[in-house]
A and B are shown apart, each in its own frame.
Chain A
Amino acid sequence: MILSSIVFLPLLFALIVAVWPKSNTIRHLALGLSVIEFLVSLVLLQRFNPSSAGLQMVEKFMWIERFGIQYFMGIDGISLWLVLLTTFLTPIIILASWTAITERVKGFHVALFILQTAMLGTFLAMDAIFFYVFWELSLVPMYFMVGIWGGARRLYATVKFFIYTMAGSVLMLVAIIYMMYLTQEATGHMSASLLDFYQLKIPFVGGTFFSLQTLLFFAFALAFSVKVPVFPLHTWLPDAHVEAPTPGSVILAGVMLKMGTYGFMRWVLPLFPEASEYWAWLFMLIGVVGIIYGALVAMVQPDVKKLVAYSSVSHMGYILLGLFAFNAYGMSGGLYQMLNHGISTGALFILIGMIYERTHSREIAKYGGLASVLPLFTIFFFIVTLSSIAVPLTNGFVGEFFILLGTYQAQPVFAYFAVTGVVLGAVYMLWMFKRVFFGEKGELVKDEHHPLHDLNAREIAVLVPMVIMVFWMGLFPNHFLNYSKASIDYLVNNRSNYNLTIVQPGDASTQQAQGGN
């Protein structure tokens, strides 16, 4: 029952918060509950068997029998870290929103917990419809989060976010229904189980758009591409980020975007192996375009939050590139980069939120010389910046290095272009850093009526875990990669006949054989 507990505990917490009578202790309550959730999720690490590529801790029973839809959850090396990332970030988000969210505090935490359930469910659901329910459910609390607690243009941003992502995923629903009928043809009974979908042999014809596998591939890929978001479909992201309150941005960048890349790994690549191989060039191309485009646009942003938002477009391009390289380096780099991006971009948004609370401005031009006023803040910002531009010894380096290695193995040309993104990333981040922290003191920093205070204890408590993760993941990547190695290797080597098996608890001796081959 561990997976169900992890997914649905936050929903219970949402209820508790909703009926909690004392409004002045809601933050403490929510923080405590989210820490409990994180501790519960740590049990996963202890129970997880890293040597197996199969699905572990599976829970399933029939939900809608008529269509073979199951309540079906399982975890493997791909979803493990994403689940932990989600539970790790939530307490940090609550702590970071301590003074940023002052209105409708109760509603905010209720939305946050519902969102957490939706995201965890998305990562753990192994039944297509079950997955889709969580996938769509996640839109609703996020919609409220941006729409109620967001900035001036929040209504535009939140509706755009909702419509874009919903429009992206409806075709996926049709594709899921279609595949349910395919399983009925193949096995005689309808099923929406992912494991049954993996068994399907969907006809593929190269060279045309109109073969079944290609069509289904694009129906899924579109949904995930909007969420990632890949280059031409990304325009909702900067809007949503800029208007979202700090915690909303952290969740969006930290976890929700990963739902898209996770979707590629879990669904698209193994379900449509030929089509994804055939169209890999397209996705690598838009990955590379995203990297360079995102970096170039980030460079000219006057708004520091928008800059980080566009840098997300660039970073997510790397992940796409890594996944479609189809080798162990690319894939594990992609997965690692998902976590890195969650940590470092999340931390960046938190830092920006902290300075915004002090100055109510995010304009780079109005800062300058912050370093002399806020030394502690500067140190944290610097570390996170280094992580974001992938300096060795930080987490970002490991991810990008693996991705570039994998891409070079698969398609050297794309690797050449992607490397320019590394340089551009350093340019826009360091340039921004220079303009904000050094040089002439800007008008906000000089403002004598509002002297700036350096970080307080709460804010340090928010940032320290993030910085620890930056170095931990940068120095000891194997602590993390070991858990996902078996799953990634299996995905890389058996993509065309991917066959996830369910690992029964207790049969440690057979797990390797079951999952590995």
Chain B
Amino acid sequence: MNTAIGLSDILLISPMIALFLASIIPITAKVLRGNREQHPVITLSQGLIGIVVAIGLLVVFGGAGKTAFNGGLIFDGVTQWMGVIALGAAGAAMIMMYENPSTTGKQFSELVFLALSSAIGMLILVSAVDLLMVFIGLELMSLALYLMIAMSHEEKLSKEAALKYFVLGSFASAVFLYGVAFIFGSTGGTNILGFMENAAELVQTSRLFLFGITFVILGFCFKVSIAPFHAWTPDVYQGAPTPHSAFMATAVKTVSFAAFLRVIATKSLTGSDHLFDILQWLAVITMIVGNTAAIIQNNFKRMIAYSSVAHSGYLLIGIITAGVSDNGAFGASGVIFYLLSYALMTLGAFAIASMLERSENHIVNIDDLAGFAKQRPMLALCLTVFLLSLAGIPPTLGFFGKFYLFNAAVGEGLLWLAVWGMVSSVIGVYYYLRPIVVMYMKEGNAEVAGHSLNATTVTAVVMALAIVAMGFVSGPIFAAVEKSLF
């Protein structure tokens, strides 16, 4: 086995190196200054520069299916797109952290360090084609997150959220690792490309392999909150500081889906009908659970959390489509495009929630939005765009996300899943309309915390504009995604 590491390997992982360097700058500076926090703006810009550089390096050096570290990592279209989406989301979440009352404290340098470390794990996760690499990425990403949620927050809820996420996350990791062991036992390797080559045959002949792949999938189901493995999601999203919820709901979900996609859909798994039957039912259950549970929520973050469960259900349709197809690129690009739109609108919704939090322990209920449209018409309009997009109303990006996803499903003969996805998105409309109703049609005096929320405001406005503008050029974007996957 050739273990030499060449220049190309280094270039390919240069985004991770850049992130690593950027991550240690703030805490080093803090140590050198005698444990005094530097100005948060400086810390934030260091982090953001790291992310921008990493995105640039990923775009320049990645692509075209280059592999690094003996085939352990692959840099193809999926890596690039998902990596860029996740890093972008991480950047936006960091901007929110900079201004949210529960995270602007003494430990902002540590927070940026952890967020960037988590982002390194994400990049590993999106590029890993070896199950052990996937595990490393998953753990690096999650460990930083456990700390982030628990840190810099006085409230009991967030400790509870961190503990819940830690216990269940570790459990999911264990299940995942268990599955990897089975796969190793039955195929003698852990490289996804290696065993997926004849996976369709293996699932029928080797029970051991079937167990293994099932456990691996279950591990992912936990991570991306597919029902009935979603129970942690609302509690953790609600309990965590809002920027962290935004981080988890978008960046973490994107990369977890990327890895999920890679395992299931890199090569067709069409031999395993039962596996796909089960996944189809899981998708249906997830859409039902997410959408119906969201209806009865009064807490804004909890509602978005349940809605993100429902969106996992839609995304699972895309994963299944990519998995049953011989040419998975269509389904896979549907997933990527959907994640792109999902990241924008969810981040936007959380950004607004973040602005509404007046103090560290403030809980934003939907009723608190009463009168928001009169006080801050611009932000209310942005939130309206996010919610309409989440609901899938044209001509927003969210509509096209659903359109491409369900289009792929219909193309692969999964008509009933598409129909079900559409029907359940109507249920979604009901709860997405509620905040709009409250904002515009109820009297009240919703207030936005302080006056120092400029960066978050800009982020929200930019995202709302992007959602509207990208809706009109969704065709070329989708074509670009699909082209990069061949």
Contacts and interface: CB of A to CB of B under 8 A. Distances in A.
Interface of A: 63-67, 69, 129, 132-133, 136-137, 139-140, 143-144, 147-148, 154-155, 158-159, 162-163, 166-167, 170-171, 173-174, 177-178, 180-181
Q: Which 10 A-B pairs have the closest CB atoms?
A: A64-B475, A170-B422, A133-B394, A167-B426, A147-B441, A177-B410, A136-B394, A133-B395, A66-B479, A177-B407
A148 B419 contact: no
B433 A66 contact: no
Interface of B: 388, 393-395, 399, 403, 406-407, 410-411, 415, 418-419, 422-423, 425-426, 429-430, 433, 437, 440-441, 474-476, 478-479, 482
Contacts of B395: 133, 137
Contacts of B403: 129, 173, 177
B393 A177 contact: no
A153 to B, nearest CB: 12
A132 B482 CA distance: 24
A147 B437 contact: yes
B441 A140 contact: no
A132 B430 CA distance: 20
A155 B434 CA distance: 10
A21 to B, nearest CB: 15
Contacts of A143: 433
A64 B478 contact: yes
Contacts of B437: 147, 155, 158-159
B27 to A, nearest CB: 46
Contacts of B422: 170-171, 173-174
A137 B395 CA distance: 7
A140 B388 contact: yes
A67 B394 contact: no
Given A144-B440, A163-B433, 15 more contacts: A64-B478, A65-B479, A67-B475, A136-B393, A139-B393, A154-B441, A155-B441, A159-B430, A159-B437, A162-B429, A162-B433, A166-B426, A174-B415, A174-B418, A174-B419
Contacts of A139: 393
Contacts of A129: 403
A132 B479 CA distance: 21
Contacts of A133: 394-395, 399
B440 A170 contact: no
A133 B395 CA distance: 6
Contacts of B388: 140
A158 B423 CA distance: 20
A174 B422 CA distance: 8
Contacts of A140: 388, 393
A171 B430 CA distance: 17
A20 to B, nearest CB: 15
Contacts of A158: 437, 441
Nearest to B434: A159
* Interface of B, helix, strand, loop or mixed by DSSP: helix
Contacts of B415: 174, 178
* Interface of A, helix, strand, loop or mixed by DSSP: helix
A158 B440 CA distance: 12
Nearest to B422: A170
Contacts of A178: 410, 415
Nearest to A63: B475
Contacts of B440: 144, 147-148
B394 A66 contact: no
A115 to B, nearest CB: 14
Contacts of B406: 173-174, 177
Given A64-B475, A155-B441, A174 B394 contact: no
A65 B475 contact: yes
B429 to A, nearest CB: 5
A292 B437 CA distance: 36
Contact of B475 (A69, A162, A170): A69
Nearest to B442: A155
Contact of A163 (B393, B399, B426): B426
A144 to B, nearest CB: 7
A64 B407 contact: no
B446 to A, nearest CB: 16
Greatest chain B CB density within 10 A among A66, A144, A178 is at A66
A170 B402 CA distance: 11
Contacts of A65: 475-476, 479
A170 B433 CA distance: 17
B124 to A, nearest CB: 31
A137 B474 contact: no
Nearest to B330: A66
A343 to B, nearest CB: 30
Given A64-B475, A140-B388, A178-B410, A163 B429 contact: yes
28 contacts: A63-B475, A64-B475, A65-B479, A66-B475, A66-B478, A66-B479, A67-B407, A69-B475, A133-B395, A136-B394, A137-B393, A137-B395, A140-B388, A147-B437, A155-B437, A155-B441, A159-B430, A159-B433, A163-B426, A163-B430, A163-B433, A171-B419, A173-B403, A174-B406, A174-B410, A174-B422, A177-B406, A177-B407
Nearest to B425: A170
A218 to B, nearest CB: 13
B410 A170 contact: no
A129 B440 CA distance: 30
A310 to B, nearest CB: 26
Contacts of B411: 181
A136 B419 CA distance: 17
A136 B395 CA distance: 8
Greatest chain A CB density within 10 A among B394, B395, B422, B440 is at B394
Contacts of B482: 66
A78 to B, nearest CB: 23
A498 B456 CA distance: 54
B308 to A, nearest CB: 21
A181 B394 CA distance: 21
Contacts of B429: 162-163, 166
Contact of B410 (A64, A155, A181): A181
A179 B420 CA distance: 18
A65 B429 CA distance: 29
B441 A132 contact: no
A171 B425 CA distance: 11
B305 to A, nearest CB: 22
B426 A64 contact: no
B394 A132 contact: yes
Nearest to B483: A66
Greatest chain A CB density within 10 A among B395, B423, B437, B440 is at B437
Nearest to B394: A133
A170 B478 contact: no
Contacts of A154: 441
B471 to A, nearest CB: 9
Nearest to B438: A155
A124 to B, nearest CB: 16
Given A66-B479, A144-B440, A163-B430, A137 B394 contact: yes
A306 B403 CA distance: 38
Contacts of A159: 430, 433, 437
Nearest to A172: B422
